[in-house]
């Protein structure tokens, strides 16, 4: 089969070869016959006769080269192409339907592939595993997911019977300079075996080597990412040996990593890689690299050849249990309750395959992207149904042709194949155009993704995987759209088609009605889905973050990264705060240690001492703020007071004197009790000392994101870094330059980060919801349009079919409106049965999107009612045009026409 396909491409050469071969045969034969005494003309005749017809041999040999089937199919394709060119409006409608379907599916698939499926460009990505701790680590930590300590990574690296190597990594933001200004940059802190275990080499110089993270601070080196080298250093060839400054700390560049490698997190491309030994410089004030009870790094390993994930996981447990016991005896193991100690000792090691690395972006997008992929697949299905319907319509117009061909002896299989060739050709044309349009769609899609994602992380280009997908989708679409028409041909009766006049075969109509019904059902699911996502976004927007966002601007300052000591840093923050408050552009200003609405928070369980001592059953979100924060944000103090000078601690005093908790905190833990005067503290162990007095209660507002309602406790601000919140006079955007100038006037070299309005911050925190609502809304509109076109087509056809019948009815005295009703009733039957089929589908699919919804159930009656209303009225609207035409039928014309 393959060889025959290949032959198709060199058929010219084969033809001329056969020609020469046969000519040689004839000439030799003629000469031989002449030698035996025949005259020249007679010899030629005799030779040709013996051979039995050159043309016939050629045909037979061609059949062998290409196989009969393939040859006929190429004729079919040629015939299809010709007939399509003759019916441009049909062709354009069909191709356009598929361009929409295939283009949308391919574009979404591009993101699915890049974010969810694509393996890292490393050696044997399939043997990479993520190592995680299931259970209580009895540890503090910071960072996102799957965190463990640095020492345990080193311990795991020694389990050589399972692992070729185990490395760890953590992302952080530093102030980075290559000689000029400091800029915030994402860097990856890694153990020194990171590159060897991944199997990633240098593009220049060397990558990190095994002793680069020996002693803390011993080896101040850095490896640049290829992108950073190209964009920030112009790809300078002499870059090895130069210095970069990380938070003012000089590091020697030893090399540039391979160009294809962009770290192991698809959403976050690090600028540089640093060995763990200088984590104290990368994260100012961090001195717990060797602490076993500080979890902050993801640990990944490469399994040995021949060791399966299950074997490794089972084999590690005895060693791990011993390690847990040993840990409890180590100095510095925290004092914890017996129950928690048991949870710690019950912990286990869990391995998961991680050929795509570790990514927060993937975690956030995995469900939304699959939902959108499902939506576009349904859209593609709808487009196929549409093309099916169009083909059936065309099939009825071609009745005579097909009938004649059947009568002349063409087999039904042969005709079915002709129709399949038709639909494949249309689908490939649609696929080609759809793929060409995909990059534009992908670029739009990327704009919906979290904007923290590095611009280099995802690309809108077309690669071979995407082409393969688009091709497969096109062929599938072609076969699907050709199925119904081919089946129709298989069923038709030859006699009736010849007896009937052109365009009156009735069999196709029922099938077309079934198709339209299916379209309505699919459209219902998409429109309901879009309605649910819209309501979710609407509910979140309506709820808001719980504070007034208009004319509010925020930006971050990290003084330690700029070489300040903690106490100097705190003075710097206060000076900037002071300067902003005295500036004419601000109405109010305050500082919070951690920014709001970024998805992250400082959190910990707490101990509460009211009548009796209790521990919170889950983490409380914590923050520290300067006096005036709540007023600046427009957050109400419901009881008690804001922070003021009473809360300032004396020199040398540790901890906080006072705290303000939110309503949710009171509701969950202090129900019915006066919260003021209750004492609380961070942590839940037996050594926790609840000595912080609750002095106020604030109204609820969003910390991590708008979806989440959480218990919160705020402390007075004494830190060295934080996020400024400024209520602006005038338009927020115009204040940006003034704010920069104010910070420069205090410290000209201090970089600020994330300067933006709070309205924008709200938008960003909702970008997944925006994406789902906008895209599913767009896709379902297209779906509705496609099914309306289908409905309209069938109804127009039905009216043409029944012209005579309607004419007679009218002649016999039927009213015009009854003619209209005749058509509308037909359309309504399809719409209603489509809805009837679609509703159970909605019910079944609802559970899959539940986690993406907010404040609305998958079976929300309002959404479903509106959808049904929209479908019915749109369906009736589409049917109204043919219905109107039916009512305008002139009885005498209709009868004469016959």
Cα 279 to Cα 289: distance, rounded to the nearest angstrom: 7
Neighbours of 228 (CB within 10 A): 22
- Sign of the Cα torsion 442, 444, 450, 455 reads positive
In the complex, the smallest distance separating the C-beta of residue 410 from other proteins, rounded to whole angstroms, is 24
Residue 621 main-chain phi, psi, to 5 deg? -80, 130
Q: Which is nearer to other proteins, 28 or 729 (CB)?
A: 28
Q: Which is nearer to other proteins, 69 or 897 (CB)?
A: 69
For residue 240, give the 3-state DSSP assignment. Answer: coil
Which residue bears the tokens 């739009």?
444
Q: Which is nearer to other proteins, 2 or 335 (CB)?
A: 2
In the complex, the smallest distance separating the C-beta of residue 39 from other proteins, rounded to whole angstroms, is 17
Residue 893 CA: distances (Å) to CA of 221, 540, 888 = 92, 60, 11
Kind of pairing between the strands at 294-295 and 606-609: unpaired
Lookup: tokens for 451: 């904007």
> Helix/strand/coil (H, E, C) string of 287-308?
CCCCCCCEECEEEEEEECCCCC
Lookup: tokens for 72: 């006929």
Cα 367 to Cα 847: distance, rounded to the nearest angstrom: 12
In the complex, the smallest distance separating the C-beta of residue 310 from other proteins, rounded to whole angstroms, is 44
Q: Which is nearer to other proteins, 46 or 348 (CB)?
A: 46
Q: Which of 599, 596, 602, 598 is nearest to 549 (CA)?
A: 596
Lookup: tokens for 555: 């930006």
In the complex, the smallest distance separating the C-beta of residue 2 from other proteins, rounded to whole angstroms, is 11
Residues in contact with other proteins by CB under 8 A are 3-4, 7, 17-18, 20-22, 24-25, 27-29, 50-53, 56-57, 60-61, 63-65
Q: Which is nearer to other proteins, 7 or 304 (CB)?
A: 7
In the complex, the smallest distance separating the C-beta of residue 43 from other proteins, rounded to whole angstroms, is 14
Which residue bears the tokens 């969003």?
702
In the complex, the smallest distance separating the C-beta of residue 8 from other proteins, rounded to whole angstroms, is 13
- Sign of the Cα torsion 802, 803, 805, 806 reads positive
In the complex, the smallest distance separating the C-beta of residue 61 from other proteins, rounded to whole angstroms, is 5
Cα 749 to Cα 747: distance, rounded to the nearest angstrom: 6
Q: Which is nearer to other proteins, 48 or 746 (CB)?
A: 48
Cα 72 to Cα 414: distance, rounded to the nearest angstrom: 9
In the complex, the smallest distance separating the C-beta of residue 17 from other proteins, rounded to whole angstroms, is 7
In the complex, the smallest distance separating the C-beta of residue 53 from other proteins, rounded to whole angstroms, is 7
In the complex, the smallest distance separating the C-beta of residue 409 from other proteins, rounded to whole angstroms, is 24
In the complex, the smallest distance separating the C-beta of residue 470 from other proteins, rounded to whole angstroms, is 32
Cα 450 to Cα 446: distance, rounded to the nearest angstrom: 8
Q: Which is nearer to other proteins, 55 or 542 (CB)?
A: 55
Q: How buried is residue 872: exposed, middle or buried, by Cβ count under 10 Å (0-12/13-18/19+)? A: middle
Lookup: tokens for 500: 């009937």
Q: Which is nearer to other proteins, 59 or 893 (CB)?
A: 59
Q: Which is nearer to other proteins, 36 or 654 (CB)?
A: 36
Q: Which is nearer to other proteins, 50 or 346 (CB)?
A: 50
Cα 37 to Cα 32: distance, rounded to the nearest angstrom: 9
In the complex, the smallest distance separating the C-beta of residue 77 from other proteins, rounded to whole angstroms, is 22
Cα 427 to chain centroid, rounded: 26
Q: Which is nearer to other proteins, 74 or 892 (CB)?
A: 74
Residues with Cβ within 8 Å of residue 500, at least 6 apart in sequence? 399
For residue 13, give the 3-state DSSP assignment. Answer: helix
Lookup: tokens for 140: 């503090």
Cα 831 to Cα 542: distance, rounded to the nearest angstrom: 34
In the complex, the smallest distance separating the C-beta of residue 427 from other proteins, rounded to whole angstroms, is 30
> Helix/strand/coil (H, E, C) string of 397-447?
HCHHHHHHHHHCCCCHHHHHHHHHHHHHHHHHHHHHHHHHHHHHHHHHHHH
Query: Do 123 and 278 touch, CB atoms closer than 8 A?
Result: no
In the complex, the smallest distance separating the C-beta of residue 71 from other proteins, rounded to whole angstroms, is 14
In the complex, the smallest distance separating the C-beta of residue 64 from other proteins, rounded to whole angstroms, is 5
Q: Which is nearer to other proteins, 43 or 706 (CB)?
A: 43
Kind of pairing between the strands at 243-246 and 163-177: antiparallel
Instruction: Tell me 212's DSSP state.
Output: T
Q: Which is nearer to other proteins, 32 or 211 (CB)?
A: 32
Q: Which of 133, 146, 167, 148 is nearest to 316 (CA)?
A: 133
Q: Which is nearer to other proteins, 22 or 539 (CB)?
A: 22
Q: Which is nearer to other proteins, 27 or 346 (CB)?
A: 27
């Amino acid at each position: 089969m393959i060889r025959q396909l290949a032959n198709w491409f060199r058929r010219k050469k084969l033809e001329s070869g056969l020609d020469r071969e046969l000519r040689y045969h004839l000439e030799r034969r003629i000469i031989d016959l002449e030698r035996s005494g025949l005259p020249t003309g007679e010899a030629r005749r005799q030779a040709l006769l013996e051979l039995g017809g050159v043309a016939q041999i050629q045909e037979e040999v061609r059949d062998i080269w290409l196989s009969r089937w393939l040859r006929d199919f190429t004729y079919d394709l040629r015939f299809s192409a010709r007939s399509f060119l003759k019916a441009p409006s049909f062709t354009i409608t069909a191709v356009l339907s598929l361009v929409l379907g295939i283009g949308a599916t391919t574009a979404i698939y591009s993101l699915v592939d890049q974010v969810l499926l694509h393996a890292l460009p490393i050696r044997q990505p399939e043997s990479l595993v993520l190592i995680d701790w299931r259970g209580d680590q009895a540890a503090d930590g910071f960072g996102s997911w799957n965190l463990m300590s640095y020492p345990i990574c080193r311990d795991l690296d020694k389990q050589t019977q399972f692992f070729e190597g185990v490395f760890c990594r953590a992302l952080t933001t530093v102030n980075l300079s290559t000689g000029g200004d400091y800029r915030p940059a994402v860097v990856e802190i890694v153990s020194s075996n990171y590159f060897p275990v991944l199997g990633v080499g240098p593009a220049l110089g060397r990558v990190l080597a095994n002793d680069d993270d020996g002693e803390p601070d011993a080896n101040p080196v850095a490896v640049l990412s290829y992108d950073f080298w190209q964009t920030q250093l112009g790809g300078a060839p002499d870059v090895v040996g130069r210095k970069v400054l990380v938070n003012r700390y000089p590091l020697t560049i030893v090399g540039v990593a391979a160009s294809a490698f962009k770290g192991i997190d698809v959403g976050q491309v690090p600028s540089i890689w640093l060995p763990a030994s200088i984590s104290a410089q990368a994260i100012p004030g961090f001195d717990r690299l060797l602490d076993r009870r500080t979890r902050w790094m993801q640990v990944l390993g490469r399994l040995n050849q021949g060791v399966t994930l299950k074997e490794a996981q089972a084999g590690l447990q005895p060693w791990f249990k011993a390690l847990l016991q040993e840990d409890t005896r180590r100095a510095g193991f925290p004092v914890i309750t017996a129950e928690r100690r048991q949870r710690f000792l019950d912990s286990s090691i869990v391995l998961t395959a991680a050929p795509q690395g570790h990514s927060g972006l993937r975690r956030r997008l995995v469900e939304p992207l699959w939902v959108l992929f499902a939506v576009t697949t349904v859209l593609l299905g709808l487009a196929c149904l549409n093309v099916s319907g169009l083909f059936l319509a065309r099939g009825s117009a071609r009745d005579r042709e097909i009938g004649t061909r059947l009568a002349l002896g063409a087999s039904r299989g042969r005709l079915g194949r002709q129709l399949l060739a038709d639909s494949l050709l249309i689908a490939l044309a649609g696929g080609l155009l759809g793929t060409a349009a995909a990059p534009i769609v992908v670029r739009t899609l990327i704009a919906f993704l979290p904007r923290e994602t590095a611009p280099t992380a995802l690309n809108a280009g077309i690669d071979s995987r995407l082409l393969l997908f688009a091709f497969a989708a096109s062929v599938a679409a072609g076969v699907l759209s050709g199925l119904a028409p081919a089946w129709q041909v298989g069923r038709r009766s030859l006699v009736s088609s010849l007896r009937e006049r052109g365009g009156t075969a009735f069999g196709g109509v029922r099938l077309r009605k079934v198709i339209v019904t299916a379209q309505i059902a699919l459209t219902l699911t998409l429109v309901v889905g879009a309605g649910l996502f819209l309501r979710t976004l609407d509910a979140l927007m309506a709820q808001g973050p719980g504070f007034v966002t208009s004319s509010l601007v925020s930006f971050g300052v990290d003084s330690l990264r700029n070489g300040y000591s903690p106490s100097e840093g705190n003075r710097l923050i206060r000076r900037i705060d002071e300067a902003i408050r005295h500036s004419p552009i601000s109405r109010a200003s305050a500082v919070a240690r951690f920014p709001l609405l970024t998805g992250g928070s400082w959190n910990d369980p707490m101990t509460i001492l009211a009548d009796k001592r209790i521990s919170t059953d889950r983490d409380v979100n914590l923050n520290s703020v300067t006096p005036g924060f709540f007023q600046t944000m427009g957050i109400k103090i419901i009881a008690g007071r804001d922070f003021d000078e009473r809360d300032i601690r004396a020199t040398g005093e540790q901890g906080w004197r006072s705290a303000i908790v939110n309503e949710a905190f009171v509701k969950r833990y202090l129900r019915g009790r006066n919260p003021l005067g209750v004492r609380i503290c961070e942590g839940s162990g037996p050594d926790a000392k609840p000595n912080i007095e609750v002095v106020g209660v604030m109204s609820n507002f969003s910390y991590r994101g708008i979806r989440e309602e959480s218990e919160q406790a705020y402390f007075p601000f004494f830190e060295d870094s934080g996020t400024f919140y400024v209520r602006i006079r005038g338009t927020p955007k115009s204040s940006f330059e003034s704010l920069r100038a104010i910070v420069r006037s205090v410290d000209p070299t201090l970089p600020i980060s994330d300067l933006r309005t709070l309205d924008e911050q709200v938008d960003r925190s909702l970008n997944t919801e925006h994406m789902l609502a906008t895209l599913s809304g767009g896709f379902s509109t297209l779906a509705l349009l496609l099914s309306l076109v289908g409905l309209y087509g069938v109804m127009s056809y039905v009216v043409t079919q029944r012209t005579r019948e309607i004419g007679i009815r009218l002649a016999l005295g039927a009213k015009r409106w009854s003619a209209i009703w005749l058509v509308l009733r037909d359309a309504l039957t399809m719409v209603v049965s489509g809805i009837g089929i679609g509703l159970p589908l909605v019910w079944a699919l609802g559970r899959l999107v539940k986690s993406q919804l907010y404040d609305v159930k998958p079976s929300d009656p309002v959404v479903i009612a509106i959808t049904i209303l929209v479908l019915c009225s749109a369906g009736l609207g589409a049917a109204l045009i043919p219905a109107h035409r039916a009512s305008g039928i002139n009885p005498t014309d209709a009868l004469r026409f016959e």
